[in-house]
Structure 1
Amino acid sequence: MNEPHPLVALIHAVPTAPVLAQDAFAREFPQATLWNVLDDRLLTDALAAGGLTDTLRRRMLRLIGHVLDSGAEGLLLTCSSYGEVVDTARNLWGVPILKSDEAMFRAALTGPFERIAVVASTPPAVPAAVAQLRALAPRVSPHRTAGIVTALSEEAATADQPEATARHLADALAAAGGTDADVVLLAQYSLTPAREALAALLGVPVLDGTGTAAREMRDLLTARSAGSVAPATTTS
């Protein structure tokens, strides 16, 4: 790292994401100085356009360029909808750039887990997470196959306490036959506050995107500071 408190930028598409990301970095990488950039029209405009357009991709690249050209030593893009833009950005800037959930998926695929559970409270989050897991698996763990079970609890989205959210997710996982999972992945950042309660209920590790991203960013920047030539990121 170039300084004791490396500047890490976080680009968000929803107003609740900065607090969750800041909490995760405070827990996992407190040395980092965080720079939050919010464009709360990113998802609305993508929805109105029926998906990402070239105009929206350029807009995200401008945001990425703004923070990296202004001195950020690493970047986490917390919005999964714009993850594909990261692949382009990695070819343009030589610093660690992470997609929202790839560190979580990589940790699950490279860990000692034979059965991975993915839980969510909104229907689109489940297939999106599973698709990313399956796309990443051949790259990071080509010689092993982990089973995947999914569970959806829309009641968890309206629960007013983390413990209630965790209970709804645990019930949905039991109904899906996933109580034998070795690790549980939270498919949305909004579920992060329920991580500890869900782990206590299930008795297995529960991974969230923000926490694993913060740990991976810490490790990547530490390696760069030590002069390691390991790649800054891997694509998914």
Structure 2
Amino acid sequence: MIEAHPLVAMIHAVPTGARVAQEAFAREFPQATVWNVLDDRLLDDARDAGGVTDVLRRRMLRLIGHVMDGGAHGLLLTCSSYGDVVDTARTLWGVPVLKSDEALFQAALAGPFERIAVVASTRPAVPAAVAQLEALVPAVRPHRPLDIVTALSEAAADAGTPEATARHLADALATVGAADADVVLLAQYSLAPACDALAELLDVPVLDGAGAAARELRGLLLPDAGQTVPVPAVAP
């Protein structure tokens, strides 16, 4: 048995996403001992390859294996582009493994929104986010109408300030006719600093996933105050 300070690993693809996730865990799950692993070539290599290839999936699985061997009690992948690797990881390790925006998407689908816009600054994040949303629909809102629209602004990735990032994202949403969506979901943690500025520009709710993920893992690992967390089973 261990103390009620579970070791939560986070695998990041960009330093900005790492900072956002750390701030969210400090706020929402301060009991956690956080272990950060950064591979800052994951997105560039996926972009150069035209998507997440089998080679890159195996690379992510090796990173996941690394933190599991190190005793992680839970894992969050903060890079949405590699979300489908989580499905494989869940069959290999008996600890909670979360996709970056899984908790966010569940909350958005459970809400009153009928037109949901997903915006990103890196191309692989768009289909990854839509696939997660659509996979959750049958369980969360099977009988309510839903329209998912997407926008991409690669210029937002290089913007110098949250305000500039927000303007790029707003322009991308307007270009595809998505600025009138009921809610906007940020498909990457690295965009979270622009959340408030984008909401002000669009006058609609804008949601990000880091805080939702921290709360989800807190609930899974510490469901009751004072309880211990089981030692994880490590795949051979």
Query: TM-score range with shorter-chain normalisation?
Result: 0.7 to 0.9
The aligned residue for residue 70 of structure 1 is: 70
The aligned residue for residue 116 of structure 2 is: 116
- What's the TM-score, normalizing by structure 1? 0.80
- The 3 A distance-change label for structure 1 pair 161 and 46 is closer
Look up the equivalent residue of 2:186 and give its one-letter code: L
> 3-state SS of the aligned residue for 1:190?
helix
Identity %: 75
The aligned residue for residue 133 of structure 1 is: 133
The structural deviation recorded for 1:10 is: 0.4
Structure 1: runs of 5+ lacking an equivalent: 228-236
The aligned residue for residue 169 of structure 2 is: 169
Deviations 1:94-146 (A, max 9, x none): 22100122222222112221121112234443333223322332233222232
> 3-state SS of the aligned residue for 1:177?
coil
> 3-state SS of the aligned residue for 1:220?
helix
The aligned residue for residue 145 of structure 1 is: 145
The aligned residue for residue 185 of structure 2 is: 185
C-alpha separation in 1, matches of 2:42 and 2:163:
31
The structural deviation recorded for 1:74 is: 0.9
CA contact (8 A) 2:163 2:197 kept: yes
The question of 1:52 aligning with 2:53 is answered: yes
> 3-state SS of the aligned residue for 2:118?
strand
The structural deviation recorded for 1:157 is: 3.1
C-alpha separation in 2, matches of 1:122 and 1:156:
9
- The 3 A distance-change label for structure 1 pair 92 and 114 is same
C-alpha separation in 2, matches of 1:180 and 1:41:
35
Q: Select between 153-162 and 111-120 the one with higher mean Cα deviation.
A: 153-162
The aligned residue for residue 199 of structure 1 is: 199
C-alpha separation in 2, matches of 1:33 and 1:188:
23
The alignment yields a C-alpha RMSD, in angstroms, of 2.8
The structural deviation recorded for 1:192 is: 1.1
- The 3 A distance-change label for structure 1 pair 199 and 34 is same
Greater RCO structure (CA 8 Å; 6+ sep): 2
- The 3 A distance-change label for structure 1 pair 198 and 93 is same
The question of 1:216 aligning with 2:211 is answered: no
The aligned residue for residue 19 of structure 1 is: 19
The aligned residue for residue 99 of structure 2 is: 99
Structure 2: runs of 5+ lacking an equivalent: 228-236
The aligned residue for residue 79 of structure 2 is: 79
- The 3 A distance-change label for structure 1 pair 89 and 191 is same
The structural deviation recorded for 1:162 is: 0.7
The structural deviation recorded for 1:224 is: 7.0
- The 3 A distance-change label for structure 1 pair 47 and 186 is closer
Deviations 1:23-77 (A, max 9, x none): 2222322222210012334445556666432x54444333223322322221001
- The 3 A distance-change label for structure 1 pair 8 and 177 is same
Look up the equivalent residue of 1:163 and give its one-letter code: E
Look up the equivalent residue of 1:129 and give its one-letter code: A
Q: Select between 13-22 and 95-104 the one with higher mean Cα deviation.
A: 13-22
C-alpha separation in 1, matches of 2:165 and 2:40:
25
C-alpha separation in 2, matches of 1:125 and 1:67:
23
CA contact (8 A) 1:2 1:225 kept: no
